[in-house]
Amino acid sequence: MNQGHPEDRSGRTHGVFAISVAAEMTSLQIQNLRVYERRGLLAPARSEGGTRLYSRADIETLHRIRDLLAEGLNLAGIARVLELEAEVAHLRARLAQAT
């Protein structure tokens, strides 16, 4: 982890929330969070003991998953939406660097 990165210090990308806290923050069931991880929708950090640690970015992703589920998408569709959204964000960042 790049500890010098400002997002890491703010907890945005650094895992700080236990799975029970993440579930409560997003109104999702703990077992669903585990399913989303198995399906590759997010990858929370792990403590040395193997405990999942969710970052603020992971919480935002979980909110997005919850919203997409409410819109009727299945997990395969959600995976594709998240992939495309990440690609758009990457391309926007590249464009911003180029200008």
Structure confidence by residue, pLDDT tens digits, 70-83: 999 999 999 999 99
Does the residue 16 lie in any domain?
yes
Does the residue 37 lie in any domain?
yes
Entry pTM: 0.82
35-71 pLDDT tens trace: 999 999 999 999 999 999 999 999 999 999 999 999 9
Q: Would you state the torsion angle of the CA atoms of residues 50, 26, 92, 96, taken in this order, to the nearest 10 degrees? A: -80
CATH number at residue 94: 1.10.1660.10
| Residue range of the domain that includes 87 | 6-98
Residue pair 17/46 in contact (Cβ under 8 Å)? The answer is: no
Does the residue 84 lie in any domain?
yes
Q: How many CB atoms lie within 10 A of CB 73?
A: 15
Q: Is 79 exposed, middle or buried (0-12, 13-18, 19+ CB in 10 A)?
A: middle
Q: How many structural domains comprise the chain?
A: 1
Q: How confident is the model at residue 5 (pLDDT cuts 50, 70, 90)?
A: very low
